[in-house]
């Protein structure tokens, strides 16, 4: 048996040429990008289950002693394929949005006018809000438009100061529970309603239950390329959400540098490192 398998592999490698290698690489890239787009979503869990069922059904239907079951599978398979877009509708939409945002890494670099001052004010305010445990959610726009969320809040169109942010998030004030959205170097609106996360990332966190602010921060990072700074009302800890991920417990001393890093140009080695990290995260998400 082992000898036959080795001979079969040698037979395949002997027939390989550069066209076959390109063909294999193209198929590999297709599967890689599918897994990359579905990372950190419930679709990844469903995908594992579907792959397991496909393997099991293939093994069972290959047995000629089960003709009735084979007929049932062959009859229902087209209906199952039509049902997949319905089951995966939110994930497909999110994947298409990510495809539409292709090139963010290239454009991440441009300095936004006045962004350094905005981030400095946010850092100072976050320190005070964290110390007093007021809680807060701050959204920084990058490339994707956030006007639909701005319209859910109270328009301010104000230049930021640490005192203004602290006053907005002071407990029991009308704007305390909503999010503050920055468009460029101005606060566009406060008290904004942000989308809640529909992925299972927070459900698997060892620090459950998560508050609505954290779910709204991650939901914003899933729906756009914006950066969300969330300050816990219970613990005063600061978290960052971006690119459908959330980083918990960001040290106050690192907050300003971390936020500036989203607006600084990426060097070529940074792009390569980021690409490799994404490949590893996809592989880990598939098997862990």
Measured CA distances, 98 to 140, 150, 200, 286 (Å)? 18, 21, 18, 19
The structure's pTM equals 0.60
**Distance, CA of 31 to CA of 25 (rounded, Å):** 10
Cα–Cα distances (Å) from 79 to 44, 47, 83, 121, in that order, read 21, 17, 6, 55
Amino acid 101: pLDDT: 53
Phi, psi of 266 (to 5 degrees): -90, 130
Per-residue three-class SS string for the chain: CHHHHHHHHHHHHHCCCHHHHHHHHHHHHHHHHHHHHCCCCHHHHHHHHHHHHHHHHHHHHCCCCCHHHHHHHHHHHHHHHHHHHHHCHHHHHHHHHHHHCCCHHHHCCCCCCCHHHHHHHHHHHHHHHHHHCCCEEEEECCCCCCHHHHCCCEEEEEECCHHHHHHHCCCCCCCCCCEEEEECCEEEEEEECCCCCCCCCHHHCCCCCCCHHHHHHHHHHHHCCCEEEEECCCCCCEEEEECCEEECCCCHHHHHHHHHHCCCCCCHHHHHHHHHHHHHHHHHHHHC
Please list the residue range(s) of the chain that carry CATH number 3.40.1700.10.
Answer: 115-264
Q: Which pLDDT does position 112 carry in this prediction?
A: 46
Closest CA to 197 of 233, 245, 150: 245
Residues 94-150: pLDDT tens digits? 666 655 555 444 444 444 457 889 999 999 999 999 999 999 999 999 888 899 899
The pair of three-digit structure tokens given for residue 24, joined into one six-digit string: 């294999």
Query: What pLDDT shows up at residue 118?
Result: 92
Give the model's pLDDT for residue 109. Answer: 41
- Residue 207: what pLDDT? 54
Bond prior to 209 in cis (omega within 30° of 0): yes
pLDDT band, residue 231 (cuts 50/70/90): very high
Check whether 287 has a pLDDT greater than 50: no
* Residues 186 and 180 sit within 8 Å (Cβ to Cβ): no
Structure tokens at 84: 């997949």
**Distance of alpha carbon 272 from alpha carbon 250, whole angstroms:** 25
So what's the pLDDT on residue 92?
63
Specify the range with the lowest mean pLDDT, choosing from 84-93, 164-173, 177-186, 208-217. Answer: 84-93
Q: How far is CA 239 from CA 31, 99, 215, in A?
A: 32, 26, 11
3-class DSSP string for 54-101: HHHHHHHHCCCCCHHHHHHHHHHHHHHHHHHHHHCHHHHHHHHHHHHC
What pLDDT is stored for residue 41 in this prediction?
Answer: 55
Most confident of 76-85, 87-96, 139-148: 139-148
| Residue 189 β-bridge partners | 155, 181
Class of 115-264 in CATH: alpha beta
């Amino acid at each position: 048996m082992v000898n036959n398998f080795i001979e079969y592999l040698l037979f395949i490698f002997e027939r390989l040429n550069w066209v076959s290698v390109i063909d294999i690489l193209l198929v590999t890239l297709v599967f890689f990008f599918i897994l990359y787009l579905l990372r950190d979503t419930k679709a990844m869990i469903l995908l594992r289950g579907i792959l397991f069922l496909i393997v099991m059904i293939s093994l069972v239907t290959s047995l000629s002693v089960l003709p009735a079951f084979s007929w049932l599978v062959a009859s229902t398979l087209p209906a199952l394929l039509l049902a997949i877009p319905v089951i995966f509708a939110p994930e497909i939409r999110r994947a298409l949005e990510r495809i539409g945002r292709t090139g963010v890494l290239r454009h991440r670099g441009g300095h936004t006018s006045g962004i350094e001052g905005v981030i400095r004010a946010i850092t100072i305010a976050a320190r005070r809000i964290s110390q007093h445990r007021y809680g807060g959610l701050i959204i920084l726009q990058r490339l994707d438009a956030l006007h639909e969320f701005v319209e859910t809040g109270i328009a301010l169109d104000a230049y930021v100061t640490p005192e203004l942010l602290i006053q907005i998030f002071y407990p029991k004030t009308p704007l305390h529970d909503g999010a503050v959205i920055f468009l460029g170097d101005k606060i566009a609106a406060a008290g904004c309603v942000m989308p809640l996360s529909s992925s299972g990332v927070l459900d698997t966190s060892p620090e459950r239950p998560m508050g609505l602010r954290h779910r709204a921060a991650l939901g914003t990072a899933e729906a756009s390329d914006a950066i969300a700074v969330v300050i816990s009302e219970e613990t005063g800890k600061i978290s960052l959400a971006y690119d459908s991920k959330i980083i918990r417990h960001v040290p106050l001393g690192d907050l300003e540098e971390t936020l500036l890093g989203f607006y600084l140009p990426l060097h070529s080695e940074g792009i390569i490192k980021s690409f490799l990290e994404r490949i590893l995260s996809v592989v880990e998400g598939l098997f862990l």
